[in-house]
Amino acid sequence: MAASTYPTPKRSLLAQLGVVLGAIVALALLGLLSSVIVAQTAAGDAAAINHAGTLRMQAWRLASLLQQGAPRAEVDGALASFRDDLEAPALTRVLPGADGHPVRVTYSTVTVQWSLALEPLARRASSGDSQAVRDYLEVVGPFVARVDELVTGLEREAEAKIQLLRTLQGIALFATLALVFYAMYRLSTQILPPLRQLLAAVEQVRAGDLAARTRYREDDEIGLLSMTFNRMAESLQGMTHRLETLVADRTARLTQSNRALQLLYEGARRLGREAPAVADFQEVLEHLTAVLDVGPASLCLTRPGHRQPYRQLVAAGPLAGNGPAVPSCPPPPHGESGVFDLRLSEAGHRYGTLRIAHPPGRPLAGWQIRLAESIAGQFAGALGQREREAERRRLALAEERAVIARELHDSLAQSLSYLRIQTTRMQAALEEDGREEARAVLEELRTGLADAYRQLRELLDTFRLRLTEGGLGAALEAAVSDSAERGGVRVSLYHAGAEPPLTANEELHLVQIAREALANVTQHAEAKHCEVRLATDAQGRLCLTVDDDGIGPPAGEPDHHYGLVIMRERAETLGGRLELTRRPEGGTRVQVCFRPQATRETEDVP
């Protein structure tokens, strides 16, 4: 932990508080010590006063014994008892040490009178000297008065000690209270105001006013605390300013990122359509110049393999009128100063150039370049998609024409050719006058015409069929329904719908094979029930199976029965094979199995 950089205050409040508390403790100790001393000095005053009072009683008792003529032994005992009380340590210990003290002088007087006057008179009186008795009685009164002075002096000394103790206790109490009031005064005048000021500044900071400062500058702990608070407030103010600057910068960056994301989303939404319009390119280009805050910008569109643009889109940008000129199309071979160029390329094909002008000396920043590259990629993708869509439409049109040509050739053209041949035969037969043969030829001609008419209707149904609206399942249901209505055969369809996605040609060929097989069932099989099943076998092939419970296939096919040939050709077009077999339980089975194009493409992927 780093050492504190704050200096030690010269006028420490802690030191001042220590002085006040030390003074209070000293006064308390002084009062306690004086109480102990006075109590110790006054401990024997009561016993001394008691002994002094006893001297008066014993002096009068001795006078009574002498008047009564008491035995000598009893008088000697009274004299010894008086001497013991007069010289008792409890009395002599409390006497003042100064020789001139009134109490000591009185005690000395009492001792001298007793030793020189009263005790000798008492001893003579105890020997039977009546004059001594009278003399003792004369002097005992003044002696007792002197003893009273001694008792009074001792009582005054005891009271003086008590008064001294009271005085010392009062002085200590007054001094303690004075120190307490002084401490309270210092607390209310020098400590609480700066603390209130500091708390007010803290509340201001808590409320968000980081400019709050304290004005207390004394060289003490509160001054040090105020200085520390001011430093902290300055640090917080500086930190808040830096954070506000950082937040403003981050907010600007987030706003910039948000605008960039909106641009990318708008570009993906507009340019990701199947056929984006020129207005979509123009809108995205204008949005790009607004987000980049540069411009003007040009979008030069060219055909793959060509340099000359066929269209130029221009966005003025936010600097219109005050910024650079509009970049030209096509771009110069070696670039142009003040213009940032991006090629619109996808899959090796170039569809144009995105040209963005910027002020001289202020090239595009990294984020601007990355955003422009992303939008250029979207432009290129949209242009490539338009090119691919146009190519797809061309291929679809060519394929549709080929399908129509093949269908006409395989159905109506064959039937018409057959009719021509039969007509020629009939003409030759009539010329030879062969009526029976002509009748047979006419019957075959009628049958051919019926087949041609039926195939024409099926061909029309085929081209009216909208596989995209109901899919293969709807087309098969329509074929089954038509067959059931025309032939009176109960037809069942089993289609789980789990086959892989099929191309339009694959679906068309399957429907046509199913229609041809159902036509054979209704016309030739003499069946009551027919079952159509479309499912995937264990080998991953898609199989169309048509089963009936009719008479089965004939032993030999007639020459004019070319429907089976057409079904086989369609099966071969699908990459499969048509099988015509007799069912063991009776009836005929027509089955076509092939691998759909989607399955073959999946298997070809490494």
Do residues 531 and 547 touch, judged by C-beta distance below 8 A?
yes
Do residues 298 and 288 touch, judged by C-beta distance below 8 A?
no
Query: In Å, how far are 64, 494, 499, 591 from 467, measured between CA atoms?
Result: 163, 18, 15, 22
- Each residue of 36-65: b (16+ CB within 10 Å) or e? eebeeebebbeebbbbbbbbbebbeebbeb
Alpha helix positions (H), 127-186: 130-186
The pLDDT score that the predictor gives to residue 405 is 54
The pLDDT score that the predictor gives to residue 9 is 66
β-pair type (339-346, 529-536): unpaired
Do residues 294 and 357 touch, judged by C-beta distance below 8 A?
yes
Instruction: Lay out the sheet containing 339-346: strands in order across.
Output: 311-315, 297-301, 349-357, 339-346
The pLDDT score that the predictor gives to residue 547 is 93
Q: Lowest mean pLDDT: which of 20-29, 403-412, 421-430, 542-551?
A: 403-412
Between CA 61 and CA 433 the distance in angstroms is 210
Q: Bigger pLDDT: 423 or 114?
A: 114
Structure-token pair, residue 536:
């995937």
Tell me the one-letter amino acid at 552.
G
Between CA 534 and CA 506 the distance in angstroms is 13
pLDDT exceeds 80 at position 356: yes
Handedness of CA 496, 499, 502, 507 (dihedral sign): negative
- From the list 504, 468, 500, the residue with the least C-alpha distance to 595 is 500
In this structure, how many other beta carbons lie within 10 angstroms of the beta carbon of residue 247?
A: 12
470-606 fold: Heat Shock Protein 90 (3.30.565)
Going by the DSSP 8-state scheme, the letter that residue 361 receives in this structure is T
Phi, psi at residue 533, to the nearest 5°?
A: -130, 130
Give the 3-state secondary structure of residue 70: coil
Between CA 113 and CA 138 the distance in angstroms is 13
pLDDT exceeds 90 at position 545: yes
Do residues 117 and 135 touch, judged by C-beta distance below 8 A?
no
**Comma-separated ranges of CATH 3.30.450.40 domains in the chain:** 257-383
Which of 133-137, 551-555, 579-583 is predicted most confidently? 579-583
The pLDDT score that the predictor gives to residue 296 is 84
Query: In Å, how far are 504, 597, 599, 605 from 602, measured between CA atoms?
Result: 18, 9, 5, 6
The pLDDT score that the predictor gives to residue 603 is 46
13-197 fold: Four Helix Bundle (Hemerythrin (Met), subunit A) (1.20.120)
pLDDT exceeds 70 at position 88: yes
pLDDT exceeds 90 at position 531: yes
pLDDT exceeds 50 at position 558: no
Report, as an integer, the average pLDDT of 511-518. Answer: 88
pLDDT exceeds 80 at position 397: no
- From the list 14, 21, 13, 35, the residue with the least C-alpha distance to 176 is 21
Phi, psi at residue 383, to the nearest 5°?
A: -65, -40
According to DSSP, the residues that pair with 530 across neighbouring strands are 491, 548
Do residues 534 and 476 touch, judged by C-beta distance below 8 A?
yes
Q: At what angle do helices 130-186 and 13-41 cross, to 10 degrees?
A: 170
Task: Let me know if 357 is exposed, middle or buried by CB neighbors in 10 A (0-12, 13-18, 19+).
Answer: buried
The pLDDT score that the predictor gives to residue 1 is 44
Give the 3-state secondary structure of residue 284: helix
According to DSSP, the residues that pair with 356 across neighbouring strands are 297, 340
Report, as an integer, the average pLDDT of 504-531. Answer: 85
Q: At what angle do helices 130-186 and 119-126 cross, to 10 degrees?
A: 150
Between CA 121 and CA 126 the distance in angstroms is 9
The CATH code belonging to domain 257-383 is 3.30.450.40
**Comma-separated ranges of CATH 1.20.120.960 domains in the chain:** 13-197
Going by the DSSP 8-state scheme, the letter that residue 275 receives in this structure is S
Contacts of 95 (CB under 8 A, 6+ apart): 48, 101, 103, 104, 107
